[in-house]
Chain A
Amino acid sequence: MLTIEDLHVEVEGREVLHDINLTIKEGETHVLMGPNGSGKTTLLRAIMGFDSSQITEGSLIYNDHDITHMPIHERARLGIGLLFQRPPTVSGLKLGKLLAVTSGGDSERVDEYARHMNMDTFLERDINKGFSGGEIKRSEVLQLMIQKPDLVMLDEPESGVDLENMSLVGNAIASLVEKDKHIVNRKKSGLIITHTGYILDYIDADFGHVMCDGTFKCHGNPREILKSVQSKGYKECIECQRV
């Protein structure tokens, strides 16, 4: 589904990512871990195509399309979706209005999903304006449910979400990546940044990757990586020379 080859990315003229290689196949969910500032968010933003994450070398191939220099909205229309960690507030733009546009005017589906995500009372509010951390995540998940991406990228989906809402958000994400479907029928893929690993209670991720200093340091079983990070932190990863 997505092949990243030898990717180098600059942010404000400084190289933040280098030598990134990764293949995500249809139906696979990958988890991205690593210390703050290691470049995880930059990678997701580069895949989405944001101006600030400038690709200087390498390529992104998505379902046979070279998307390395494709505008953001074309990537979105090809099926790439991103849950923002800290989305901007858009004053005056109602959440319901945006969903009306992205759903192609399917108000029934919008209402149904909004109720499901406990966001029905937010449809008339400006997007993200005064939303709590948990509300932002519910709003982001709701937007992705409407958008129905094939490659679901999630930037810390659990941050700011309280325990009560964690299962709502977690289960909704699980269905975004079709964890409710049998493995052979799964068409959706996921690339998820997590610090806490709470999201792994809802989705069984297939692969884990640790990023340090702008490149992958190791790949492996996501549960095992999480366990090791929880007990020893990233110190060993940073020092580790094995790639």
Chain B
Amino acid sequence: MKGFSEIGEEDLKRIEMTGLQTGSLEGRSGSFLQVDDHIHHASTDTKGVEILALADALEKYAWLEDYYWKAVPRDKDEITQYVAAREPKGYVIIARKGSQTTFPLQTCLFMAKDEIQYVHNIIIAEEGAELHLIAGCASSMKTKNGAHYGVTEFYIKKDAKVTMTMIHTWGESIEVYPRSVAIVEERGIFLSNYVCMVPAKKVQMYPTAELRGDGAVARFSSIMLATPGSYLDTGSRAILSAKGATSELITRAITTGGTIISRGHILGSVKDTKGHIECRALILKDGTIHAIPEIEGRVVDCELSHEAAVGRIAREEIEYLMARGLSEDEATATIIRGFLDVKISGLPESLQKQIDAAIDAAEKGF
């Protein structure tokens, strides 16, 4: 297998913007790289954690059939149907019972050519395992048109914890259609962080967490910037179907001319469940932000709430910072940086730093 050495310098920079390391893998517990439909690299040095190409995994482990297309239905829509009809691509990560990764494991999906890249990933955290993933998705500067179809199935077993940090660095003419579902069992924790600060033509996704075990937790946080020409239709959904299950869906969205549809849905179908949706958005220049938070309770004793706000930066705040000597532009950028600063509890510091770096890199453009 070949690694990042095959990729040109300019494109390596774009990959690094997604938080991935392309040189030494120090500080990473494993790495996966798929360019277009070729798998270049899959390795891990952590005991109890395996990363392998989906096709190899299906051959090696017959039991994987119990997970293959079990969280995301094959015939869900035309995206899943497209992926299901083709040769399996993508990765499988298995964190064995009780395994712990100190460092995050990185996966990179890179589009070098103008075509459709598709992947199907399966992530399994067995009982008590803890797994941190940083998933970078990027396209080459040379890629003018293209689409990325990604199916991801997460299985988080009893007392396991998975954090998934996804940073997108697509091109202005790329369309992206992730389809992902996480199934979380008893006391399992799923934290999903999405950062998109770089233009993409279209992103359409609505990842779902099904909390099937008592005390399961899912937290989604999304930080997005829509520049002119970008259309981001994103959301997250939590289905609270076990006692004590809790979920939080947090979004910070900014537009400078693009469109953001920020969806959210929490369904409480059993007693003693809690969920909250929070969406805050700023329209800096032109553009549209449409927040659609939905909370649906079907029993007594489920506590669901939402708050959504679309607005602009308060003049008062800008003037406050200007009185301290910051120019209007500096004050505005400082306030926006603060607005986007969502600290995600339970996220390892190294991953928080990657998120911060992705936002910092975009700060100049506000």
A: which residues have CB within 8 A of B?
Answer: 48, 50-51, 71-73, 76-77, 81-82, 84, 87-88, 90-94, 97-98, 101-102, 126, 143, 147
**Binary flags per residue of B291-315, CB closer than 8 Å to A gives 1, else 0:** 0000000000000000000000011
State A97–B321 Cα separation when bound (angstroms). 12
- Chain A at the B interface: SS class: mixed
Segment from B23-31, B168-176, B203-211, B331-339 that makes contact with A: B331-339
Interface check B327, CB cutoff 8 A: yes
Interface check B75, CB cutoff 8 A: no
Asked if B322 and A76 make an inter-chain contact with CB atoms under 8 angstroms apart, the answer reads yes
Candidates B316, B324, B327; contact of A88 at CB < 8 Å: B316
Given known A-B contacts A51-B315, A76-B325, A101-B334, A91 and B320 have beta carbons under 8 A apart: no
B: which residues have CB within 8 A of A?
Answer: 314-317, 319-328, 330-331, 334-335, 337-342
Residues of chain B with a CB closer than 8 A to A101's CB: 326, 330, 334
Candidates A82, A91, A94, A98; contact of B321 at CB < 8 Å: A98
> How close is A119's CB to chain B, nearest CB, in angstroms?
15
State A71–B322 Cα separation when bound (angstroms). 9
Q: How many A-B residue pairs have CB under 8 A?
A: 67
State A76–B327 Cα separation when bound (angstroms). 10
Given known A-B contacts A73-B328, A101-B326, A92 and B337 have beta carbons under 8 A apart: yes
The closest CB in chain A to the CB of B340 belongs to A92
| Pairs A–B under 8 Å by Cβ, sample size 15 | A50-B319, A71-B328, A76-B325, A77-B325, A90-B317, A90-B335, A92-B335, A92-B340, A92-B341, A92-B342, A94-B338, A101-B330, A102-B326, A126-B338, A147-B324
> How close is B333's CB to chain A, nearest CB, in angstroms?
11
Asked if A102 and B320 make an inter-chain contact with CB atoms under 8 angstroms apart, the answer reads no
Residues of chain A with a CB closer than 8 A to B322's CB: 71-73, 76
Asked if B334 and A143 make an inter-chain contact with CB atoms under 8 angstroms apart, the answer reads no
State A48–B321 Cα separation when bound (angstroms). 12
The closest CB in chain A to the CB of B324 belongs to A102
Asked if A73 and B326 make an inter-chain contact with CB atoms under 8 angstroms apart, the answer reads yes
State A242–B363 Cα separation when bound (angstroms). 56
Asked if A147 and B328 make an inter-chain contact with CB atoms under 8 angstroms apart, the answer reads no
State A77–B325 Cα separation when bound (angstroms). 5
Interface hub of B317, B321, B340 (most chain A Cβ within 10 A): B321
> How close is B305's CB to chain A, nearest CB, in angstroms?
19
The 9 A-B pairs with the shortest beta carbon distances in the complex, nearest first, are A92-B338, A93-B338, A72-B322, A92-B341, A76-B325, A73-B322, A88-B316, A88-B317, A73-B327
Asked if A88 and B323 make an inter-chain contact with CB atoms under 8 angstroms apart, the answer reads no
> How close is B362's CB to chain A, nearest CB, in angstroms?
15
State A115–B148 Cα separation when bound (angstroms). 52
The closest CB in chain A to the CB of B338 belongs to A92
State A87–B323 Cα separation when bound (angstroms). 11
Asked if B314 and A92 make an inter-chain contact with CB atoms under 8 angstroms apart, the answer reads no
State A80–B319 Cα separation when bound (angstroms). 14
> How close is B247's CB to chain A, nearest CB, in angstroms?
23
Residues of chain A with a CB closer than 8 A to B334's CB: 93, 97-98, 101
> How close is B250's CB to chain A, nearest CB, in angstroms?
12
State A72–B330 Cα separation when bound (angstroms). 13
Given known A-B contacts A71-B328, A90-B317, A81 and B338 have beta carbons under 8 A apart: no
> How close is A114's CB to chain B, nearest CB, in angstroms?
15
The closest CB in chain A to the CB of B343 belongs to A92
State A219–B355 Cα separation when bound (angstroms). 57
> How close is A91's CB to chain B, nearest CB, in angstroms?
6
Candidates A51, A76, A92, A93; contact of B323 at CB < 8 Å: A76
State A73–B325 Cα separation when bound (angstroms). 4
